Amino acid sequence: MKPLRVYMDTSAFGGYYDDEFSAATRLFFEAIFAGQVIALISETLVAELTRAPRQVQDLLGRILQTHSEQLALSKDAVALRDAYLKSEIVAPKYADDALHVAQATLARADVIVSWNFRHLVNPSRIREFNGVNVAQGYDLIVVMTPAELVSFLEAASDEDEGES
């Protein structure tokens, strides 16, 4: 299977050291290090992680040295974020969450990975983000937790082995 291009938000990094989410998150990061996933790392994510604990920043450094693509902030991403805000998908104080979705959309990410259940891994909001995307002429987005993505990768691997 071709590697998936996966946009990561801040919570995906925080989950690596969180007792509740670490097991699945570590498996997700192993998939990156194994080349099953190409991590899409935005300037927005990097800026947010500059305020994170040293161990999280070190993890980002490891990702940047492996299978990753860096995404520059663009005027189109800001405009799409503003369209999400105008549609009131998230409140302006959560504009960075909308910016993550915009950057992932413009980068044509296969998946956004997040533990942010309030604003991203939320079926109602995903539907609203996709409504704006369609209205603006962009593709639909898919948002999953690291656990869901790891399960998907395992199932796809099992299917590939069955075809051999």
Give the confidence band of 162 by pLDDT, cuts at 50, 70, 90: low
Residue for token digits 């891994």?
Answer: 121
Domain ranges for the chain, please list them. 4-163
148 in Cβ contact with 125 (< 8 Å)? no
Stretch (H or E) spanning 144: strand 143-144
Condensed to tens digits (0 to 9), the pLDDT of residues 88-137 reads: 999 999 999 999 999 999 999 999 999 999 999 999 999 999 999 999 99
CA distances from 35 to 72, 80, 158 (A): 22, 30, 17
d(CA 87, CA 80): 11
Note the pLDDT tens digit of each residue in 53-93: 999 999 999 999 988 999 999 999 999 999 999 999 999 99
CATH 1.10.20.60 applies to domain 4-163: no
Q: What is the 3-state secondary structure (H, E, C) of 51-97?
A: CCCHHHHHHHHHHHCCCEEEECCCHHHHHHHHHHHHCCCCCHHHHHH
**Cβ proximity of 89 and 131 under 8 Å:** no
Instruction: Kindly report the backbone phi and psi dihedral angles of residue 4, in degrees, each rounded to the nearest multiple of 5, phi listed first.
Output: -80, 140
pLDDT for 163: 58
